[in-house]
């Protein structure tokens, strides 16, 4: 058991060190005075987001980019709330903006992919930009995408996402988990092994989206409009699939409000992992699960036989320290450091949460936007 524990722990540590190195290697992109040139279609799929839409719409109206070079397509995915008056009033208040309301056309098991596809079909511009209805985008968002495109010539751009601050332990637990995901995402791009991205902040070429047949092949999986598309771009254009590392490009989003919602979200995210084609993504997922399972099993072994206490302490402290290095570095970049004080207690609870999510993602149905989805 001890030798297996050492091997797992060493591999996990090397992996996180690689992500830290990749994070450092990926340089921060500075906004320049490049003239606005590229055209963007912003697509927002939404369902029953009446409380959050006004914040997103207001942030979109504050974009520092020529009005004639972008459009906003809002795709309603079977909402039952009174969202239309909000959009109608907003359009009247901002007549200079091109805002189109569309209805989703369901053709698959994934309403989000269907909604984005409807938006792309109705788009008139060259670049697709996606975010979520509960988000708030920065004013230089499109300007940064434009400058990055002109300088780096990418075809797919992943960009950072951060949580809006709340005061609760649930928030801090989610926040530390999310920060670790963003850090691993940036680190993966930094070592040229991208395996994650977030649909709340993506930009990609419409021409290439159509060329690679968009979401075709993943229609049976409810989520994954971001990662499965990333995999397709990596397969065809690995050198043109990049990360925009800029503090000015950070999109703010909301954490889940209850533990049940959080677990549903995590189970939904984990349930798609078996469909990944990216072997590195599978490897990372397996190592994270094994390391956390190792923490749990050595703890149980210590309770049964105290002779294992040194093994547990060494493995736990090693994991906690290496995780902290990545999380602390990422939290500095995101300017989101208030949760770090909760890191020790989160480190103790996290293995239990990971094991619970891993088990349930294999067998349990999950709820998303009021609908139940099978594995």
Distances (CA, A) of 287 to 8, 12, 18, 297: 7, 6, 14, 15
Lowest-confidence pick of 37-51, 217-231, 252-266, 347-361: 217-231
Q: Is 204 helix (H, G, I), strand (E, B) or coil?
A: strand
Pairwise CA distance, residues 44 & 37, whole Å: 22
* Mean predicted confidence (pLDDT) in 126-143: 97
Task: Kindly report the CATH class assigned to 28-258.
Answer: alpha beta
Give residue 25's pLDDT band: very low, low, confident or very high (50, 70, 90).
Answer: very high
Mean pLDDT in residue range 89-109: 93
Residue 1 — very low, low, confident or very high, per pLDDT cuts 50/70/90?
Answer: low
243 closest CA partner among 290, 292, 194: 194
pLDDT greater than 60 at residue 375: no
77: helix, strand or coil: coil
Tens-digit pLDDT profile for residues 138-155: 999 999 999 999 999 999
Dig out the tokens for 265 from the structure: 């979200």
Return the exposure string of 129-165: e unless at least 16 CB atoms fall within 10 Å of the residue's CB, then b.
Answer: bbbbbbbbbbebbbbbbbbbbeeeebbbbbbbbbbee
Has residue 93 got a pLDDT over 70? yes
Q: pLDDT tens digits, residue range 10-21?
A: 999 999 999 999
For residue 128, which of 48, 62, 214 has the smallest C-alpha distance?
A: 214
- Average pLDDT, whole number, for the chain? 92
Domain ranges of the chain: 2-22+278-360, 28-258
Q: What is the pLDDT of residue 91?
A: 95
pLDDT value of position 306: 87
- Per-residue pLDDT band at 89 (split at 50, 70, 90): very high
> Looking at the chain, how many residues does it have?
375
Query: Does position 308 have pLDDT exceeding 90, yes or no?
Result: no
Band of the pLDDT at 199, cuts 50, 70, 90? very high
Q: Which residue has the higher pLDDT, 271 or 367?
A: 271
Q: Is 90 exceeded by the pLDDT of residue 365?
A: no
Q: How confident is the model at residue 129 (pLDDT cuts 50, 70, 90)?
A: very high
pLDDT reported for residue 13? 96
Give the confidence band of 250 by pLDDT, cuts at 50, 70, 90.
very high
For residue 241, the model assigns a pLDDT of 98
What digits encode the pLDDT tens for the residues 310-338?
Answer: 888 999 999 999 999 999 999 999 999 99
- For the record, the structure tokens of 242 come out as 């990049």
Give the rounded percent of residues in the chain with a pLDDT score beyond 90. 79
Q: Rounded to the nearest 5 degrees, what angle is found at the Cα of 9, between the Cα atoms of 288 and 184? A: 40
The answer to whether 272 touches 224, Cβ cutoff 8 Å, is yes
Task: Give 335-338's long-range contacts (Cβ < 8 A, gap of 24+).
Answer: 335/162, 335/247, 336/162, 336/163, 336/165, 336/175, 336/179, 338/165, 338/172
**368 falls in which pLDDT band (50, 70, 90)?**
low
Q: Which two tokens stand for residue 17?
A: 């060190």
**pLDDT value of position 372:** 58
Average pLDDT over residues 76-104: 94
- In whole angstroms, give the CA distance from residue 146 to residue 140: 10
């Amino acid at each position: 058991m001890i030798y297996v524990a050492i091997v797992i722990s060493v591999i996990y540590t090397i992996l996180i060190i690689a992500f830290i190195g990749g994070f450092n290697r990926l340089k921060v992109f500075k906004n320049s005075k490049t003239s606005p040139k590229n055209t963007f279609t912003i697509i927002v799929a939404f369902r029953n987001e009446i409380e959050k839409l006004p914040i997103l719409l207001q942030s979109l109206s504050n974009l520092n980019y020529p009005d004639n070079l972008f459009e906003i397509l809002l795709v309603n995915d079977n909402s039952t709330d009174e969202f239309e008056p909000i959009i109608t009033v907003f359009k009247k208040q901002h007549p200079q903006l091109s805002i189109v309301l569309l209805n989703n056309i369901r053709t698959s098991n994934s309403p989000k992919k269907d909604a984005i596809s409807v938006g792309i079909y109705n788009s008139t511009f060259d670049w697709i930009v996606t975010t979520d209805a509960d988000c708030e985008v920065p004013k230089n968002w499109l300007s940064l995408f434009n400058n990055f495109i002109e300088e780096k010539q990418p075809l797919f751009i992943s960009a950072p996402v951060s949580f809006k601050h709340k005061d609760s332990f649930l928030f801090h637990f989610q926040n530390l988990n999310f920060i670790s995901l963003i850090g691993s995402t940036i680190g993966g791009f930094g070592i040229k092994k991208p395996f994650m991205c977030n649909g709340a902040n993506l930009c990609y070429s419409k021409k290439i989206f159509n060329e690679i047949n968009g979401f075709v092949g993943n229609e049976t999986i409810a989520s994954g409009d971001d990662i499965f598309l990333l995999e397709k771009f990596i397969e065809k254009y690995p050198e043109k699939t990049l990360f925009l590392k800029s503090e000015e490009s950070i999109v703010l989003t909301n954490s889940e409000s209850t533990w049940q919602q959080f677990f549903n979200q995590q189970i939904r995210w984990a349930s798609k992992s078996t469909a990944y084609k990216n072997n590195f993504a599978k490897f990372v997922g397996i190592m994270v699960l094994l390391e956390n399972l190792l923490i749990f099993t050595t703890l149980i072994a210590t309770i049964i036989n105290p002779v294992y206490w040194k093994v547990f302490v060494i493995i736990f402290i090693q994991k906690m320290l290496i995780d902290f290095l990545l999380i602390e570095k990422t939290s500095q970049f995101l300017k989101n450091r208030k949760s770090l004080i909760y890191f020790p207690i989160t480190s103790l609870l996290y293995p239990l949460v990971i094991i619970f999510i891993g088990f349930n993602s294999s067998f349990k149905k999950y709820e998303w936007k009021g609908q139940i989805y099978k594995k």
